[in-house]
Amino acid sequence: MREIAVAVLGACGWMGKVHSNAYAGMARQFPGVTGRPVIKWLVDENADGVRVAAEALAVPNHGTAWQDAIRDPAVELVDICLPDKLHYAVSKAALENGKHVYCEKPFTDTTAEAEELVALAGKKGVITRVGHGFPINPVHQLAREIIRSGEIGDITFFRGTQHVDSHGDPHAPFIWRLDGDLARTGIVGDTGSHVFSFIDYLIGEVEQLTAHCPVIFKDRPDIPGATYGATTIGRDTGKRREVTNPDLGMVLCRFASGGVGVVDFSRIATGKRFTQRYEIYGTKGSITYDYDEITRLNVFYLADRHGRQGYRAIDVGPEMADYRTFLPLPNFGLGYNEVKALEASQVIQSIVDHKPAWPTFADAKRMVALVDACMESHATGQWTAVRN
């Protein structure tokens, strides 16, 4: 079996841990994958934390400088779990060194940066992937199959939502995700891009949109060491930091295929710990999905007999290989980490086969273009063309 040497950058953060764990358990969880990832480098600004992580995973190299890992000729895949601001520069450096690249979303800050990296990746002939993991859940594979088969007809209307309440409390502390220098697009790139990934995977290209993406809470408590989901209980020092990127987004859009869409997302939906839903309406039927029933799709067909029409719940199960690798029975549910592990396994198999899989850098550029258009539309107050 071919070994693929991996460098995980941002190894001590949430995503870095998720990716590292996926590699560590891949051989056992995905015996059909014909490549074996071997983590050769862990990199993080937390010197003590990355040392401990390297010891726990028996990784031979660790450090605080991502450049060292990228320059290592033994490394074949660079896995980027760093703050948004670094995605472009680190991806570019990795590509210039001839590495395959797996980068967490949002891919880049701007469409122009994304276009540059797509061209560079094509020139280098390497495999690229962006971590839009939610659509990888087998339930969305079923949704796409239904849509592409024409079962629900031409798509007329899409409604998509994703909300968290990580900052619904006005006293929730400032973290890097609220810093426009580190994350230029704020919740638009952080959470809005997840809804945009469903649009790209299931519906297709957006031609135009209009968006309102305001900052609701202008400043936050400045708590040293605060992390995602942290509180200020007993720790508030009275110092504040300005929030410099959007807290929420509301979007109207027009699809190239002729349908329209409504999208909303936020980090301030108090009480919505994590809400992700979509509704897709067509000329012959419709599909609805709710993350709270993570492997269930609800499908409605106009062709059903009058008086017997209604949504039918379809629980995906072991008839789908990507579900069967985890569970033998339907409706047991898949967790976030399992879906990300599936994503990582696809990255490794893509490298072995030298065959790209959605979403590549070229695919992710379309999501970046949607984020870009949202930011421009909010600034101008106008409908904006999407630079696909």
Q: Give residue limits of the domains in the chain.
A: 2-133, 135-331+361-385
Q: Mean pLDDT over all residues of the chain? A: 96
Confidence grade of residue 92 (pLDDT, cut at 50, 70, 90): very high
Tens digit of each residue's pLDDT (9 = 90 or more) over 112-149: 999 999 999 999 999 999 999 999 999 999 999 999 99
The residue-averaged pLDDT of 215-242 equals 83
pLDDT given for residue 231 in this prediction = 67
Provide the pLDDT confidence category of residue 227 given band limits of 50, 70 and 90. Answer: confident
Lowest mean pLDDT of 131-145, 223-237, 258-272, 337-351, name the range: 223-237
Phi, psi of 324 (to 5 degrees): -60, -25
User: Contact, 359 vs 367, CB < 8 A?
Assistant: yes
Residue 100's pLDDT band (cuts 50, 70, 90):
very high
CATH 3.90.550.10 fits 135-331+361-385, yes or no: no
CB 172 within 8 Å of CB 220: yes
Compare 231 and 276 and report the one with higher pLDDT: 276
What's the pLDDT at 348? Answer: 98
Query: Mean pLDDT over residues 55-73, rounded?
Result: 98
CA distance 388 to 385: 9
Express each pLDDT in 289-298 by its tens digit: 999 999 999 9
**Residues comprising the chain, all counted:** 388
The reported pLDDT for the residue numbered 333 is 86
pLDDT at 21 over 90: yes
Decide if 2-133 and 135-331+361-385 have a common fold: no
Task: Report residue 137 as tokens.
Answer: 């859940």
State the Cα–Cα distance between residues 58 and 78, nearest whole angstrom.
18
Examine the pLDDT at 232 and tell me if it is beyond 70: no
Superfamily for 2-133?
Answer: NAD(P)-binding Rossmann-like Domain (3.40.50.720)
Confidence label for 160 from pLDDT (cuts 50, 70 and 90): very high
What percent helix, strand, coil does the chain show, rounded to 5?
35, 25, 40
Q: Which residues of 138-172 are buried (b: 16+ CB within 10 A; e: fewer)?
A: bbbbbbeebbeeeebbebbebbbbbbbbbbbeeeb
Cα(216)–Cα(187) distance, rounded to whole angstroms? 12
Least-confidence region, from 126-140, 145-159, 215-229, 280-294: 215-229
d(CA 380, CA 371): 14
Strand 2-9 versus strand 155-164 pairing type: unpaired
Average pLDDT over residues 96-108: 97
The rounded distance, in Å, linking the Cα atoms of 198 and 297 is: 14
Contact 26, 33 (CB under 8 A): yes
230 pLDDT band (50/70/90 cuts)?
A: low
C-beta atoms surrounding 262 within 10 Å: 14
